[in-house]
Amino acid sequence: MKLTSRERIERIFRNEEIDRPALKLWSAGVDPEPVLHPAYLPVNRLASETTDLFGGAGFTFDLYAGANIEKYRETYLTEADHPDWRLKHTVFHTPKGDLRMIERISLKGDPGYTKEYMVKEPEDIDKLLSMEYTPFPLNRAGYDHANARMGDRGVVMIGLAHAAYGAQIMMGSETLAYFSVEERERVHALIQVYADRLLAHTKAILDLGIPNGIFSWVGPELFLPPLLGPADFAEFVHDMDKPICDLIHNAGGYVWVHSHGKVANFIDSFIDMGVDVLNPLEPPKNGDIHMEEVVSRYGNRIGWEGNIEIQEILLSSKERLRDLIDECVAAGSRSGRFILCPSAGHMEYTAPTEKYIDNLLFYLRYGLEAVERCRKQ
């Protein structure tokens, strides 16, 4: 039995028989370039040639005001405390008053962080909701182009925003935690509005006639312990996301979700809301997923993607990487729905070490050996 990468991935989403587990390097694509650093080029070339590729395509969308966003938004840069950094100021001039965010951003591609969030007081939620929302007109040209370029090398996922994550971006986890207790009705109302906008946006995409589309989003991790509790996850993630999943499934599509953190106690919830493939299945210490245990418990009820921490590729010996790959492929393959993948994109370090590049190449070569050993004759 020999499948193309597209066939293999699509069958994992559909829970159909596959020839072997899939191999993925998150952020690898058909085109090896551009690269964040020249050292990544051989990694990208090898990944483009040998892995099962996941591309992305988006449809124009803004969660906060839609096509009206430029009417409300002002952005400008100021100097930071280092020449490689700038402060990005974003101001929403809403009908009920201004909201301001300040982010520290790198000119070299390093991760930044938020110094000041938009929402600081309960009334700021009302300001967010006072902006008039109008959806963007959509067309499928970008998706069709990405799909044609991908061919049989993999699949193109349709990226969606996430309602709960959209609220967290505006207020940060600390304020969100306080408001989830003190201003719960306001928080619920905000996320519900965003979920309704996403539901309508998803329907508009589906109305373009895309068959068997794979939709993807990130963000549920910010509503897991220790940031928030199980009841918060149920109300703000499960209950808000399930109607979107149902809409996608009813149209013949599928759902891929990224959620870092300790998700072992929430697998039932992800399955019930309609997630077809869950990523990145972090093992301890960052997560709590033991592949042997979750596959024994859930089998093929959900697709499993990940289980190799990016830190291991950064820092570990090849011997340890080999053992980790062997363990998670052996366990994951028993589900019939496994994708070997690191926990994060590989080009997130502006100055990669020689060891990191060497380990990425080893992951690709040995990972392919490991999944090929599972091939069905």
pLDDT tens sequence across 78-120: 999 999 999 999 999 999 999 999 999 999 888 899 999 999 9
How does residue 40 score in pLDDT terms, banded at 50, 70 and 90? very high
What is the average pLDDT score of the chain?
A: 97
Q: How confident is the model at residue 276 (pLDDT cuts 50, 70, 90)?
A: very high
Residue 78 belongs to some domain of the structure: no
Q: Flag whether 221 is in a domain.
A: yes
Tell me what pLDDT residue 109 has: 87
Q: Does 219 map to a domain?
A: yes
pLDDT band at 1 (very low <50, low <70, confident <90, very high): confident
Residue 352 lies in a domain: yes
Is pLDDT of 165 > 80? yes
User: With 80 as the cut, is the pLDDT of residue 16 above it?
Assistant: yes
Written as six digits, the tokens of 236 are: 């703000």
Is 109 among the domain residues?
Answer: no
Task: Report, as an integer, the average pLDDT of 326-355.
Answer: 96
pLDDT for the residue 222? 97
Neighbours of 267 (CB within 10 A): 19
Percent pLDDT > 90 in the chain is 96
Alpha helices in the chain (DSSP H): 5-14, 41-50, 69-72, 122-129, 141-150, 163-182, 184-206, 230-233, 239-250, 267-273, 291-298, 310-315, 318-333, 354-372
- Give the number of domains in the chain: 1
> What average pLDDT score do residues 243-269 get?
97
Which residue, among 174, 180, 280, 175, has the nearest Cα to 221 in the 3D structure?
Answer: 280
Mean pLDDT of 28-46: 94
In a domain, 272, yes or no: yes
What pLDDT digit, counting tens, does each position of 172-182 carry? 999 999 999 99
Contact residues for 27 (Cβ-Cβ < 8 A; gap 6+): 345, 346, 347
Identify which of 57, 94, 102, 107 has the alpha carbon closest to the alpha carbon of residue 75: 102
What pTM was computed for the model? 0.96
The predicted structure's pLDDT at residue 296: 97
Residue 211: pLDDT band with limits 50, 70, 90: confident
Sign of CA dihedral 160, 163, 168, 170: positive
Residue 95 in any domain: the answer is no
Q: Is residue 48 part of a domain?
A: yes
Res. 166: pLDDT tops 90: yes
Can you give the residue range of the structural domain that contains 53? Answer: 5-69+119-372
Gyration radius from the chain CA atoms: 21
365 pLDDT exceeds 80? yes
Average pLDDT of span 113-131: 97
pLDDT at 293 over 80: yes
| Strand order through the sheet with 73-79 | 73-79, 85-94, 97-106, 113-116
Residues 307 and 328 sit within 8 Å (Cβ to Cβ): yes
pLDDT range class, residue 49, cuts 50, 70, 90? very high
Is the pLDDT at 377 greater than 80, yes or no? Answer: no
Confidence of residue 62 (pLDDT cuts 50, 70, 90): very high
* Contact assessment for residue 205 and residue 252, using Cβ atoms and an 8 Å cutoff: no
- C-alpha span between 132 and 111 (Å, rounded): 32
Residue 376 has pLDDT above 90, yes or no: no
What local confidence, expressed as pLDDT, does residue 317 receive?
97
CATH number, domain of 317, equals 3.20.20.210
